[in-house]
Structure formats: structure tokens, C-alpha cells
Amino acid sequence: MGLSWFGLSCGFVALFPLLFCSSGSEVVTIDVQAAKDLLKSGYGYVDVRTVEEYKKGHVDAEKILNIPYLFNTPEGRVKNPQFLQEVSSACNKEDLLVVGCQSGVRSLSATTDLLTAGFKHANNMGGGYHAWVEHHFPVTKPEDAGKNNQEVDQRKKAEDEL
């Protein structure tokens, strides 16, 4: 049995808010190669995954923020009620942003909210961190942070000896 017109129209109505925001801006989803290029050109990266996900590894970018869009609770995932306020306190509405999550789903919702709130240059990274890793693009993991701290300690020690 085929899909009814009603079923198709309900599906379109459900997806419509994800494609267009009340600000009139259309959500632009870019692939990870385009995201990598934008990050190299000066865009900031807003990682909307949970803090726990972020700490396991994240996109290696010069300008990066971790502001969770959802929180894990005993009742399930709930939207971070302070998400827009937290992004607004760290970014200007004119800032150039790439928004990413684990797979591209949360970041699509987060990008929609940002555009609706007046952020003019927020792009959703399709495929998320998972696709970034699959493309073997640079990541920062906890062991990398430890190496960086050791390098800093070694440099400080060398400077002290001079």
C-alpha cells in the first residue's frame, strides 16, 4: 500500500521547520570537507554534543566551543534551556560558525535555533563527528591534551634553565 497524500503532507509539515527558520534563513548543511575548509578559513566550531562525548574526542579546530544542545537525564535527553544564552555569551550573531554533533541530527536542530535567534552565518555539519573521523580528519583526544601539557611542561623547564 502506498503512502497517502495526508501522510506525505504531514511529513513535510514536520520537516518544514528544520528547513526554514522564522528569521527567513535556510539551514545550510555542509559536508565534512566543506566544514574543514571553513574551519581553516577562520570559522568557529560549536560542538553541541554532551560534555562526556566531547571529552572522548572532538574536531581539532582553532576556535571551538562545547555547548551541549541536549542533556542526558534519568528521564532521557532534554534540551539545554540555556543553549542560546550560552552561545550568545560566547559568540556574536555575525560570527561565522560551523555547528556539529555526533551524527548531524542535534546540530541540525541547534543550527535551526541559532538562525531563528538571529545568528546569520551558522552552518550545520552533516554527518557530524562520526563522518569527520571516517574521513581521517584531525581530532583532539584526551591523550593529545596530556601530550600538549607535557610539551608545555618541557618548554617551561627549558626556559627556566636558561
- Could you identify the residue written with the cell 569527520? 132
> CA–CA separation, 158 vs 162, rounded Å?
7
Collapse the DSSP code of 35 into the 3-class scheme (helix H, G, I; strand E, B; otherwise coil) and give the result.
helix
Structure-block grid coordinates of residue 94: 555575525
Cα 149 to chain centroid distance, Å, stands at 25
Residue 93, strand partner residues: none
Query: In terms of DSSP bridges, do strands 58-59 and 139-140 run parallel, antiparallel, or are they unpaired?
Result: antiparallel
Question: Which residue in 10, 21, 91, 101 is the catalytic one?
Answer: 101
> CA–CA separation, 62 vs 57, rounded Å?
15
Active-site residue 91, yes or no? no
> CA–CA separation, 26 vs 99, rounded Å?
14
Total residues belonging to the chain: 162
Known catalytic residues?
101
